[in-house]
Amino acid sequence: MLKKILLIILFFFLVFQILFFYYIKNDSENIPKDTDKRIKIGFSMGTLKEERWTKDREILFQEAKEKGADIIMQNANNSDTVQEEQVKYLLKQGIDVLIIVANDYQKTKKIIESVKEKNIPVILYDRLVLDTYADLYISFDNTEVGRIMAESLLKKLNYKGNILIINGSESDYNTHMIKNGYDQILKPYTDNGDIKIIGEFWAENWLKEKANEIVNEIFKEGIKIDGIICGNDSLADGAIESINFSKMSGKIFVTGQDADIKACQRIVEGLQLMTVYKPINKIAEKAIYYAIELVRKNEIKTEYKIYNEGYDIPYISIRPVEVTKDNIDETVIKDGFHSENTVYKTQ
């Protein structure tokens, strides 16, 4: 009898054990794992003024959504102080990684260091910051942008003439890289006197009004302009407004970059010589991919590194593309960056 009772007790004990482990297993499967948690990306933008930055924002949000990540975006409107406060806000939101478009290549150092102190990875997005460590710098080859603009203009001028240069914001390190690029190309022709630089200026915050003002002043001084290298398409817009007002449309060749829709329209109209197209989908897709990889603590391997006057930063470089009236269909339109109807709407 005792033996029978012991067997019954043992049976119920085994049943209890089986049920216990069954429910524990199911409950543990319902507990979110760290790898399943939605990654929270902080995105700090120096500005949204230019058309290209709105495209970056749209593609980044779309790409993050497809990868199962969330983005919290802040726009500093060209203010260093505001950008610093906004990054503090992003940290309070519990971001896992920061993607930052620096407003100032020197002042942003303090912001990045405050983020790194919290062991949060940082990606420098299309703007380098000096003398501070970041986990990744991803950008277009800005020196090549400058080379492309200079080569295109020189070819159109048959390597002779008067050139005006309107750089972008001096606080944006991209501007210095672009300048380095066109300086390399122009130097042999300025040295032998075939090309004369009639003026070189910096446009604070990339304001097109500054470009308009500069060209107006050159016209007032009666100096002949054959070509203008503009730091981007917004500055080219300001310069061309002045050219059109002076009834010199199509007689002065103007370069730009970013392939803004208005610039593309001006190119097919013959009002702007060229622009430099930077495939934003490529930089945005890579930024989200590597942001997620950094949060997952996966090793980031890049072909290049860039020295930022303090550190060698892992660097992903994307090649820019020259866009002229002759190849606009095969570049920005073929890529779907702009539609054919929109580019040729004035035709």
Q: Which residues, listed in sequence order, are joined to residue 277 by a DSSP beta bridge? A: 321
**pLDDT score recorded for residue 4:** 56
| Separation between Cα atoms, residue 103 and residue 167, nearest integer Å | 16
Domains annotated for the chain, with CATH where assigned, are 37-134+280-319 (3.40.50.2300), 142-277+322-343 (3.40.50.2300)
DSSP H helices in the chain: 2-30, 51-66, 80-92, 108-116, 142-156, 173-191, 208-220, 233-245, 261-269, 280-295, 340-343
Q: Which residues, listed in sequence order, are joined to residue 253 by a DSSP beta bridge? A: 227
**pLDDT score recorded for residue 263:** 97
Sign of CA dihedral 258, 264, 265, 269: positive
Report whether 227 contacts 161 (CB < 8 A).
Answer: yes
Instruction: Please state the rounded mean pLDDT for residues 122-136.
Output: 97
**pLDDT score recorded for residue 172:** 94
- Among 11-25, 41-55, 266-280, 332-346, the range scoring the smallest mean pLDDT is 11-25
Residue-wise pLDDT for 42-55, tens only, equals 999 998 877 888 98
| Separation between Cα atoms, residue 243 and residue 215, nearest integer Å | 8
**pLDDT score recorded for residue 16:** 54
Residue-wise pLDDT for 153-180, tens only, equals 999 999 999 999 999 999 999 999 999 9
Higher confidence at residue 301 or residue 29?
301
pLDDT higher than threshold 80 for residue 57 = yes
| Separation between Cα atoms, residue 254 and residue 171, nearest integer Å | 23
